[in-house]
Amino acid sequence: MELKAWFGLKSPEPPKPLQKEKTVQSQKSPVDYWKSRQRQNYYQHVYALALFVGRDARSVIDVGSNGCPYLEWFESIPRRLSVDLRNPYRSETVEGIASDFLKFQAPETFDLGLCLQVLEHVPDPAAFAAKLLSSSTELIVSVPYDWKPGTTGHIHHHLKEETIREWFGRSPDFQMISTETNGVRRLICYFGPASRSGLKNTSPALN
């Protein structure tokens, strides 16, 4: 099946996260954070891309989930792990670990890795990127595309394709710009064995 055919998919509605620990935050709670974002286009694009490149995956790690439950979408993947500094997602089917990812000792190399809207918050994105690449065989990351300074918590701004190449030390095997109805754009990148995915290194702008 061609990649574009997968972008017509709609992600299922995930169950509410199990709140095993009460978390105190100055910003939105993980549940409120997810409610404000769950209908965004870029999740649909990430979901479709993950289904395509991770169609044979038996394990997936999500880094920096902030309590978002989208790992529940991947019911065909038996091993699902969420790692977050403060708010990993946990449920009966998803293991959650609160840890600094740079200090986290992964128990295995995962078939599929996700890291969505995280690198812009990280003081050393190059080290973080290297750890992501070593933690999974297939990796999907997203970052704000050319956002101006002013977003709470962001320490890197005006991120573009060349920024990703600099941080990861290589070009993605596939990249695309996902645009929301309000014009907000995010860059989604895939790193992995291109011979297995059938993807070409291109940067289409999808709405």
Q: CATH code at 102?
A: 3.40.50.150
Domain extent at residue 165: 41-206
Residue 1 lies in a domain: no
Residue 22 lies in a domain: no
Q: For 162-204, where are the E strands, in sequence order?
A: 174-179, 185-191
pLDDT score of 205 = 53
Residue 157 lies in a domain: yes
64 dihedral zone (left: phi>0; alpha: psi -120 to 50; beta): left
How many domains, the chain?
Answer: 1
Q: Is the dihedral of CA 113, 106, 193, 177 positive or negative?
A: positive
CA 85 distance to own-chain centroid: 15
List, for residues 175-206, the tens digit of each pLDDT value: 999 999 999 999 999 999 744 445 555 555 55
Residue 112 lies in a domain: yes
Segment among 31-35, 74-78, 156-160 with least mean pLDDT: 31-35
Asked whether the predicted pLDDT for residue 81 surpasses 90, the reply is yes
Residue 132 lies in a domain: yes
Strands 136-144 and 79-84, sheet pairing: unpaired
Asked whether the predicted pLDDT for residue 80 surpasses 90, the reply is yes
Residue 62 lies in a domain: yes
Q: What pTM was computed for the model?
A: 0.82
Q: For the chain, where are the E strands, in sequence order?
A: 59-63, 79-84, 95-98, 110-116, 136-144, 174-179, 185-191, 205-206
